[in-house]
Amino acid sequence: MFHRWRRLDYPGLEVLHWHEHAAGISARSVIVDAGDEPFGLVCEWRLDRFWLSRSLKLKLTDAQGERRLEIERAGPEQWLVNGEPRPDLDGCLEIDVSATPFCNGLALRRLGNQPGELVALYVQAAALSVEPSRQSYERAGENWRYIDLGAAKGFTAALECDEHGIVRNYEGLFAAL
C-alpha cells in the first residue's frame, strides 16, 4: 500500500509504502521536512502481523550530516536504542515519531481501536532523541482525538483514519494526498 502526506504547518512531504508478508508488515517512509531547520528522514519499520512495532531504523540527513538511530523491542515493554538497553523507556507500548502520522495508527491498533491511554516511545525526529510520552486517544464521532499528556503536553488534534487504520488527516499538521 502506498500513502502520501503533506505538512500543513510548513513545507514538507512524506511518502510511505507498506506491505504484508508471512512474518508481518514492513513499511518504508521517506520524509522531507522543509521547516526552519530542514532535514530528510528515512524510516524503516518492521511490524509483526498484529501491527506491533518490532523495530525501527531511522536515517536523518540535515545540515550537520547524516545520523542513524535504531530502536528494537527487547520485550513486551522494553527497548534497545542503538543496541543498548534503555530502562527509562520501560513501559512504552509503541513508537511515535514526531515527523509522521503513520505511528498514530499503530497506537490506535495497540489500544484495540478503543479509547484509552498509553505510553509511547517518542522520537523527536529532528534531534533523533527518544523519551517516554503519555498519549490519550478519544472517539470524536467516526474519527479520533489525540491528546498529548507527555512530550508536548496539552497538544490535541483530530485524526481521520482510512480503512486500514492509517491516519489520513491529522488536524493542523498532515493531510493525505
Whole-prediction pTM: 0.95
Q: What is the pLDDT of residues 68-109, one digit of tens each?
A: 999 999 999 999 999 999 999 999 999 999 999 999 999 999
Low-confidence stretches of the chain (pLDDT < 50) are: none
Percentage of the chain lying above the pLDDT 70 cut: 100
pLDDT of residue 164: 87
pLDDT of residue 151: 87
Strand blocks (E) in 22-115: 24-33, 39-47, 53-62, 65-75, 78-81, 84-85, 94-97
Q: What is the CA radius of gyration of the chain?
A: 15
**Long-range contacts of range 156-164, CB-CB < 8 Å, 24 or more positions apart?**
159/101, 159/104, 159/108, 161/105, 161/108, 164/1, 164/105
Q: Residue 102's domain spans which residues? A: 2-176
Residue that the C-alpha cell 506491505 belongs to: 19
pLDDT of residue 134: 95
Number of domains in the chain: 1
